[in-house]
Amino acid sequence: MLLNLAFGWSLRWTGTASNEAAPYLRVYFPGLRSSLVPRMFSAAARLVTKRFHGIRQIVRQSPAVSAGGAGTSRSYSTALNYHIDSPDNNPNALWEFSASNMERVKEILTHYPSNYKQSAVIPLLDLAQQQHGGWIPVSAMNEIARVVEVAPIRVYEVATFYSMFNRTKVGKYHLLVCGTTPCMIRGSRDIEEALLKHLGVKRNEVTKDGLFSVGEMECMGCCVNAPMIAVADYSKGSEGFTYNYYEDLTPKRVVEIVEMLRRGEAPPVGTQNPNRIRGGPEGGNTTLLGEPKPPPCRDLDAC
């Protein structure tokens, strides 16, 4: 309904705006023919209409909508911000922190003033996600709202804003491929294609054995070692949760890492290029080979 209203508004606004803008455009562009003004706004209207139509199609064709909530896959790495109740994700399902995690909750709350408990929403969502196998059901969000004494919507708006909070099921090993420009230039799409083909899934789907899922993430902050992935390991619960980077990847190497994880092994983190040390140049340093010289005067005020 909202999309239909926005669609209609865009058409009405375009007609009004073209009439109001025409005198101003002729002042700044004396050679502009009056007949061109409606055409300019018509082109803008077509663009807006096309965009709204695309969004409407996404909503209508989404598996969760078309199957009445039975589907859990998403068309894009950042899912549309809606929730549809399902048997394992609804506000009536019982959810609470484990005894050990409840102790961690109490410790987290000590970091903030007692009248600002809501500041703990992000670390508590992270803890809930670790406990719940990599995703956060709405009942967990409600429990967090109760703990920090805010309306549930205050937790929902945080969980739907940050893409690292998963609101649908992921694999025990959630593989996130960096899709930002440096990694893309260095072959991140080939990395993602190799993962999806090897695991037999689409983006944001979970393998049948529940072990793996593949998503996309924007800049991981290690562009010098592009392309790279992050692996969120939920296989050992919140007590054994790890989040590691694997850099300088090739399609062959990323498949090897997947198989090592499947066997329960721990692949070496960081660069996968044997000729590099961390973020250093391949083959070793060519400059800064010794200790830097100290400044001529340590006491800057006396210099």
Residue burial 114-145, b: 16+ Cβ < 10 Å; e: rest? eeebbebbebbbbbbbbbbbbbbbbbbbbbbb
pLDDT at 239: 86
Q: At what angle do helices 138-148 and 152-159 cross, to 10 degrees?
A: 120
Q: How many whole angstroms separate alpha carbon 193 and alpha carbon 199? A: 10
Nearest Cα to Cα of residue 215 among 197, 231, 226: 231
pLDDT at 134: 93
pLDDT at 211: 96
Q: Where are the alpha helices (DSSP H) in the chain?
A: 2-28, 36-61, 63-66, 99-109, 121-131, 138-148, 152-159, 181-185, 188-199, 251-262
pLDDT at 231: 96
DSSP sequence for 155-197: HHHHHTT-TTS-SS---SEEEEEE-SHHHHHTTHHHHHHHHHH
SS3 107: helix
- 299 CB contacts (<8 Å, ≥6 apart)? none
- 92 CB contacts (<8 Å, ≥6 apart)? 139
pLDDT at 238: 86
pLDDT at 41: 57
Q: How many whole angstroms separate alpha carbon 20 and alpha carbon 7? A: 20
Please report the sign of the dihedral spanned by the C-alpha atoms of residue 66, residue 72, residue 76, residue 81: positive
AA letter at 20: E
Q: Which position has the token pair 């993602």?
A: 192
pLDDT at 68: 41
Nearest Cα to Cα of residue 169 among 64, 286, 288: 64
- 172 CB contacts (<8 Å, ≥6 apart)? 133, 134, 210, 211, 212, 233, 234, 235
Q: How many whole angstroms separate alpha carbon 289 and alpha carbon 269? A: 25
pLDDT tens digits for the chain (303 residues)?
Answer: 444 444 444 444 444 455 555 555 555 556 656 565 566 556 666 776 676 666 666 555 545 444 444 344 444 444 456 788 888 899 999 999 999 999 999 999 999 998 999 999 999 999 999 999 999 999 999 999 999 999 999 999 999 999 889 999 999 999 999 999 999 999 999 999 999 999 999 998 999 999 999 999 989 999 999 999 999 999 988 888 999 999 999 999 999 999 999 999 999 999 999 999 888 888 888 888 888 887 777 676 665
Judge contact between 119 and 82, C-beta under 8 A.
Answer: no
Q: How many whole angstroms separate alpha carbon 228 and alpha carbon 234? A: 19
Strand partners, 256: none
Q: Is beta strand 212-217 parallel, antiparallel or unpaired with respect to 173-178?
A: parallel
